[in-house]
Amino acid sequence: MELNTIKPSEGAKHAKRRVGRGIGSGLGKTAGRGHKGQKSRSGGYHKVGFEGGQMPLQRRLPKRGFKSQSLKYNAEITLSELQTLGAAEVDLLTLKQAGLVPQLAKVVKVIKSGELSAKVVLKGIGATAGAKAAIEAAGGSLAE
């Protein structure tokens, strides 16, 4: 292969549609715009969502819901995940290194899902009431 023999792959390039170039081209006269009306005129168009004066769909439907931007900084971890982690002391950094919480996470909370038999000390990690009871029952503690 030489530089002077390189070609784009088959079908990668196609000729631009040339409109208004005579009857034989198939796109002469009205140039694919049809006859009359706002869409056939130059500069004649309307904004996105415009329905000819009818109340547009995005205004007919009710506003609903909200997605908090702070949610991406919150993470949760289950008791069974703590069990599989098998570390005596658990903080945010160890959870991130283990890949149990995303790197963006700033606030982590333990939820009561699964069983915990290992003694675990949590540092800077919150827990729900049920999870806290389970951790203390296993001999662990929460150091905030």
Q: Which of 107, 96, 100, 97 is nearest to 73 (CA)?
A: 107
Residue 9 burial class via C-beta count within 10 angstroms: exposed 0-12, middle 13-18, buried 19 and up: exposed
Q: Is residue 139 part of a domain?
A: yes
Interval 64-117: pLDDT, tens: 999 999 999 999 999 999 888 888 889 999 999 999 999 999 999 999 988 888
CATH number at residue 132: 3.100.10.10
Write out the residue range of the structural domain in which residue 78 sits: 71-143
Interval 110-137: pLDDT, tens: 999 888 888 999 999 999 999 999 999 9
The answer to whether residues 42 and 80 belong to one domain is: no
Q: Which of 93, 82, 84, 80 is nearest to 121 (CA)?
A: 82
The number of distinct structural domains making up the chain is: 2
Q: Is residue 3 part of a domain?
A: no
The reported pLDDT for the residue numbered 85 is 87
The reported pLDDT for the residue numbered 132 is 92
DSSP conformation class of 32: T
CA distance 108 to 126: 6
The reported pLDDT for the residue numbered 77 is 92
Tokens of 75: 């993470």
Interval 48-64: pLDDT, tens: 999 989 999 999 999 99
The reported pLDDT for the residue numbered 45 is 86
Contact call for residues 79 and 116 (beta carbons, < 8 A): yes
pTM: 0.54
What band does 4 get if pLDDT is binned at 50, 70 and 90?
A: very high
The reported pLDDT for the residue numbered 144 is 65
Block residue for tokens 């609903």: 64
Q: Is residue 2 part of a domain?
A: no
